[in-house]
Amino acid sequence: MKIAILPGDGIGPEIVAQACRVLEALRSDGLPVETEHGVLGGAAYDRHGEPYPEATRRLVHAADAVLLGAVGGPQYDKLDRPLRPERGLLAIRKDLNLFANLRPALLYPELAGASTLKPEVVAGLDIMIVRELTGDIYFGQPRGIAVNELGEREAYNTMRYSESEVRRIARVAFGIAMKRSRRLCSVDKANVLETTEFWKEIVTDVGREFPEVELSHMYVDNAAMQLVRNPKQFDVMVTGNIFGDILSDEASMLTGSIGMLPSASLDENNKGLYEPSHGSAPDIAGRDLANPLATILSLAMMLRYSFNRDDVATRVESAVKKVLAAGLRTADIYQPGCEKVSCTAMGDAVVAAL
Ligand code: IPM
Ligand code: MG
């Protein structure tokens, strides 16, 4: 198992360090893990002058899977767009063809009180958002800021999807639905946008290959509302890049803490990049306060999806559940009556629970 480790920026290095300790513990138990570190985002800009340098490109192409912390920070906001950390993230996704982004929103019973929604609305919540990650308005050409015929500046981006792009993400989503409750909701804005009217048509067509899955369709504005009104109506949701970006942040917060949620971005052969769903939290970076659990759970997703090791993945997830049950909490998920711990102490506890 050749794993490229990209700690990134902000709290990235701290949370990734804890995930690496978990990996180390698994290695000493005989898991054939080989790791190599590289840079991405602001850290890469600082060292190489670009957010996705050639050395990193070579490293991740040679690896079987990639573990990423987070990228970005205010010190990079003034850089030219192509040099910004976020561009490094978009570049690695595109370069490795990681078109399938899986973002679970799972509520741990111990953390039910952390949600801003009523406990009865979120208890037992378990949604999987499947977000297309390498197309849509994120990558569509033409794009830019230019002066128009009237001499006024204007800006434009292009929302576009090809049939094959929609088909392959739909197949992934139906496949995941088959392994869960066989319900899939495809999210679009087909009442206004041709791109997503087309999306709906192709997803419906792919659905004919999966007659056991009950497919529904929902407009994105309604989906945003339904997610806070009655989130448990959803099981697997599939949507395009921009809607998925927005809805997955919304869904993550239903669980009370984005600090708990992992994600996987996969290519056609299940090679993947795994990262927490949260960002680089520059405000708390370097203070040993961050929650490493989303990163540790991302590692579990890696073991499951890229290395087909459900057994080891479950072992890691059980260790996380154990430390939560024991009442350990980083600041972001702290509630009175629990024990507030640092990022490192949380890592210690997970390793011990393993
Ligand atoms: C995400 C992030 C990224 C995205 C940014 C950092 C480019 O918000 O992974 O959801 O928009 O895809
Ligand atoms: Mg986002």
User: What Å distances lie between residue 210 and 70, 182, 270, CA to CA?
Assistant: 36, 9, 20
The reply to whether 142 and 199 lie within a common domain is yes
Band the pLDDT of 116: cuts 50, 70, 90: confident
> What average pLDDT does this structure show over 187-207?
98
The pLDDT of residue 185 is above 90: yes
The reply to whether 162 and 232 lie within a common domain is yes
Q: What is the pLDDT of residue 109?
A: 87
Q: What is the pLDDT of residue 253?
A: 87
Q: Is 235 a catalytic residue?
A: no
Q: What is the pLDDT of residue 307?
A: 97
**Residue 219 pairs with which residues in a beta bridge?**
188
Residue 136 CA to residue 161 CA, distance in Å, equals 6
b/e per residue, 59-91, with b = 16+ CB within 10 A? bbeebbbbbbbbbbbeebeeeeeebbbebbbbb
The pLDDT of residue 255 is above 90: no
Residue 215 CA to residue 235 CA, distance in Å, equals 11
Band the pLDDT of 251: cuts 50, 70, 90: very high
Residues with CB under 6 A from ligand 1: 86, 89-90, 245
Residue 253 CA to residue 251 CA, distance in Å, equals 5
Q: Is 221 a catalytic residue?
A: yes
Q: Which of 40, 76, 89 to mutate to test the pocket of ligand 1 (most atoms within 8 A of CB)?
A: 89
Protein residue whose Cα sits closest to atom 2 of ligand 1: 245
Q: What is the pLDDT of residue 115?
A: 86
The reply to whether 136 and 253 lie within a common domain is yes
Ligand 2 centroid from CA 179, angstroms: 26
> What average pLDDT does this structure show over 113-122?
88
The reply to whether 155 and 222 lie within a common domain is yes
Token output for 1: 């198992």
Q: Is 310 a catalytic residue?
A: no
- The answer for residues whose C-beta is within 8 angstroms of residue 320's C-beta and 6 or more apart is 293, 296, 297, 300, 350, 353
The reply to whether 184 and 159 lie within a common domain is yes
Ligand 1 centroid from CA 245, angstroms: 7
**Residue 66 pairs with which residues in a beta bridge?**
4, 273
Q: What is the pLDDT of residue 291?
A: 97
The reply to whether 95 and 125 lie within a common domain is no
The reply to whether 190 and 126 lie within a common domain is yes
Band the pLDDT of 188: cuts 50, 70, 90: very high
The reply to whether 107 and 227 lie within a common domain is yes
> What average pLDDT does this structure show over 51-71?
98
The reply to whether 239 and 147 lie within a common domain is yes
The reply to whether 332 and 312 lie within a common domain is yes
> What average pLDDT does this structure show over 146-165?
97
Band the pLDDT of 169: cuts 50, 70, 90: very high
What's the chain's average pLDDT? Answer: 96
pLDDT tens digits, one per residue of 4-46: 999 999 999 999 999 999 999 999 999 999 999 999 999 999 9
Q: State the number of CA atoms in the 13 A half-sphere of 276 facing the CB.
A: 30
Report the atom number in ligand 1 closest to the C-alpha of 248. Answer: 10
What's 312's domain CATH number?
A: 3.40.718.10
Band the pLDDT of 349: cuts 50, 70, 90: very high
pLDDT tens digits, one per residue of 82-115: 999 999 999 999 999 999 999 999 998 888 888 8
Write down which residue in 218, 237, 258 finishes a domain.
Answer: 258
Are 159 and 140 in contact, with CB atoms under 8 Å apart? yes
Q: Which of 64, 95, 245, 288 is catalytic?
A: 245
The pLDDT of residue 167 is above 90: yes
Q: Is 95 a catalytic residue?
A: no
Share of the chain above pLDDT 90, in %: 94
The reply to whether 248 and 199 lie within a common domain is yes
The pLDDT of residue 139 is above 90: yes
> What average pLDDT does this structure show over 314-321?
97
> What average pLDDT does this structure show over 249-278?
92
For the chain, the C-alpha Rg in angstroms (whole number) is 20
The pLDDT of residue 244 is above 90: yes
Q: Is 249 a catalytic residue?
A: yes
Write down which residue in 241, 258, 275 finishes a domain.
Answer: 258
Ligand 2 centroid from CA 278, angstroms: 8
Write down which residue in 211, 240, 258 finishes a domain.
Answer: 258
Q: Which of 126, 249, 267, 348 is catalytic?
A: 249
Q: What is the pLDDT of residue 113?
A: 81
> How many domains is the chain partitioned into structurally?
2
The reply to whether 170 and 244 lie within a common domain is yes
Ligand 1 centroid from CA 278, angstroms: 9
Band the pLDDT of 300: cuts 50, 70, 90: very high
Owning domain of residue 58? 1-99+267-354
